Structure 1
């Protein structure tokens, strides 16, 4: 993608913000940005920045953007992926609603609302601080499409993945293509790993009279098949081995924290020798392809059950936690003026391809996307700065000649 492909988006948003703005407030907004680089925080549905008031107090400005519905996004994505691979890129042409199923991606003035902690009342119109947030956002859009997709309610990584999947051969291309696993289903902050419905146990047999005096020959042949609905014999043997493994870990004090969901426990189970034969069954149960299952195993290796949970699920995280983490990593960022994306428990620095995911263990788990898909790397830490450093160290290892 060329560095100017979304310039039209920037000009359109600037026009929307400034056409009916108070000239004095607009001039003050431009003065706020002159020679300064406020930290812009882009989230689903709003963008924020902080400015200093004359009395030293902070003014926290928020530009709120109307999010598109899931149905609207489905129509937009279908329209984008229906284009030929040569043109299925994110660029200025998507500013035209004819290319997005008649649904405009760029917000109109009616889609925007302003909120700020300064003393200006909303009835007086947008203040200089919220206008400055909008102008800063427009400048980001000049070369980076991600903030607009995030604001309108759909992560940019999801759009890019949908584009890649849309260009892959379908089942009509032949039997080999039909065997390509389905992409990993998108999980929300409220999703949980799927659970196999409980089956009713078989009825207990009637008591039998036991003959304890007659000698019986020892078992010389294989055991008969296990009666339904019990698991097959190899599965029962694996469960026994797993119970023994966990008992040893308890006795030696090396037991890991207990997994909080089925997906995390399957990651633990399949990482052990007795669980390896059931890897395909785990993939089918979780709806993962081979690559995603490999990444889940890496997440468990690097971060234990909490690392696996951070890979599988999104969690709702307080905005202040994300804001503090963003401030902690800011001195370490090679491109400090580039946008940092905050979505759920994910903190993404797309300029360098680093993502931190906050897990249920209160640690930040580092991720890289060297091949276009986020994958876990070593170094989870309660300190987001340490996790960010670990991701940069791992990135250098990826770039090192092999």
Structure 2
């Protein structure tokens, strides 16, 4: 009994024990397999072949359109392949069918996960379906040596004609994974009918009270587990490479406007929400740029900001005085204190803010390294007079400038601003460079 899908290699058509696919046009300028399972089929072919030259000839014949209509039935695919001189050869490739017990295990596994059935109906074969089938003892995809060629050209091994047939079948598999299942022994209609029967049977075993399936002991069966990351990673050899990432936007996306005629609900500040949404969009873009930068995977993970630090970060991202006033009030700072904190943040983020606000007494080892840095930074004739203070701070005598030694061993330049000290530049590895950045003669 033969059902033909002539003219539509991916159509459902009339299903029986055999499907026939019309000859495909030449495949010039494109690969034979785009899906990962189509590539797995070709990998089994190429790993099995003893002579790569035969593969090359077969690939060229398939690419030139030398393969005629392909007949697919359980355990066998067949086509007529023509040589360049017009000589026709009947070529077959055999693949072992699954046994009854294997099909039972596969169908039971598929019923347990509705996503597997939905994927097949969408002409998709996700890796976890193949992995779950393998876990049930059912190998869907062929492996090394599973494809057995037969051709009337009397070749004792894979010949160009059977190779061309396999390359053509990879294109059919791309369109419809049910082609593989038919080769393994079951057609689409038969499979779907059996799945429907098993699904109905499984539904009758569910508890009417809560809709959960009853276990063998009358209890509730556990929900099926997800796919383990190490198992997915182990399948990387048959998966296609990931596509390149999309281009990074030049600027953050625009958040939705909350300026509507309707009043916001009580307790909701629309202006604050718009500000936070815009900030989130900007942060998302920066995170994306950082993630795509070279060496990102070797960078340390940033520490989560405290509410006080995040308030300073937010204030540093805007020039709106009303927002600054609200942030100062929300964090218990005076407006002048917040301005100092914002200035420090803009020079070095959380690390600069810590140098400004934290009281830190260097341990003896850190203090010794700081003094060694100071001793080696200048020639004697150029050395400024420094007065040591608490918390790793050295003030230049006779000037409104100061050096602060951070926990990370860097030096931060400071300048007096009224009764307070303000961060005045980025950090430097040595005190002389930090002090020189203040452009003050000492």
- The structure, 1 or 2, with the larger RCO (C-alpha pairs under 8 Å, 6+ apart) is 1
For the criterion TM > 0.5, the same-fold answer is no
TM-score range, shorter chain: 0.3 to 0.5
TM-score by length of 2: 0.35
TM-score by length of 1: 0.38
Structure of higher CA gyration radius:
2
